[in-house]
Amino acid sequence: MSRARTAVLISGRGSNLQALIDAAADPKFPAQIVLVISNIEGVYGLERARQAGIATAVISHKGLSREDFDAKIDAALEAADVRLVCLAGFMRILSDGFARKWAGRLLNIHPSLLPAFRGVHVHEQALEAGVKFSGCTVHFVVPELDAGPIVEQAVVPVLANDTPDTLAARVLEQEHRIYPEALRLLAEGKVKLQGGRAVFA
Ligand code: GRF
């Protein structure tokens, strides 16, 4: 079976990108990372991609409408013959048209147990709410932010003396474990987006 050509979209340090690169270094992994796109120049994630010999592109959102920015991303994905897309710390909201076009082939990772704590400052939100458990979610991307059908989740305890940083670090460890697992499921066709739900084979 040919490995699914996959792009990763980033805006920063790219530790989840690294987890995906490391998983895909195994030739038996069903996806290969063929392109990394960042909307911000000079971020460490781009360096990680270069070190792994993966093609990179910087597509700045500055001065562009959301639709024009997404059209540029889409063109880069098509030019690289990409089949699957993973958002990994990508800090732009994609247009409805982009989300619809890539529906079922587009994943995001979010550092909370969705549907709790969407958006930003997620760990602050969790501590503020006093939850005893938090975690992370890999989900299909749909037009509504942080709202798509869930592919994978992992749970971590919230400790009494946690700060947003200590909680983030505990959650991040689990992100690095579940994102490759979720990509594997999608690339193997073991999860599909059908009728607005994640359906598992
Ligand atoms: C992760 O916590 C991810 O869940 C969130 O942004 C962070 C990105 O970290 N969307 P990294 O760039 O993958 O290290």
Among 38, 40, 33, which Cα is nearest to 7's? 33
Q: Any idea what the Cα angle at residue 187 is, between residues 184 and 188, rounded to 5°?
A: 85
Q: Collapsing DSSP states into helix, strand and coil, what is residue 157?
A: strand
Percent helix, percent strand, percent coil in the chain, to nearest 5: 35, 25, 40
- Each residue of 69-93: pLDDT tens digit? 999 999 999 999 999 999 999 999 9
Interacting residues of 56 by C-beta distance below 8 A, sequence separation 6+: 35, 36, 37, 38, 46, 49, 50
Pocket test for ligand 1, best of 112, 134, 172, 183 (most atoms within 8 A of CB): 172
Residue 43 CB–ligand 1 contact under 6 Å: no
- For ligand 1, atom 8, name the residue with the nearest CA: 89
Q: How far is the CA of 4 from the centre of ligand 1 (A)?
A: 23
Confidence of residue 94 (pLDDT cuts 50, 70, 90): very high
Predicted confidence at residue 145, as pLDDT, reads 85
Model confidence over 150-160: pLDDT tens digits? 999 999 999 99
pLDDT for the residue numbered 31: 98
Strands 4-10 and 84-87: parallel
Burial profile 146-162: b = 16 or more Cβ within 10 angstroms, e = fewer: bebbbbbbbebebeeeb
* Domain membership of residue 189 as a residue range: 4-200
Task: Output the domain CATH number for residue 61.
Answer: 3.40.50.170
% of residues, the chain, pLDDT over 70: 100
Count of the separate structural domains present in the chain: 1
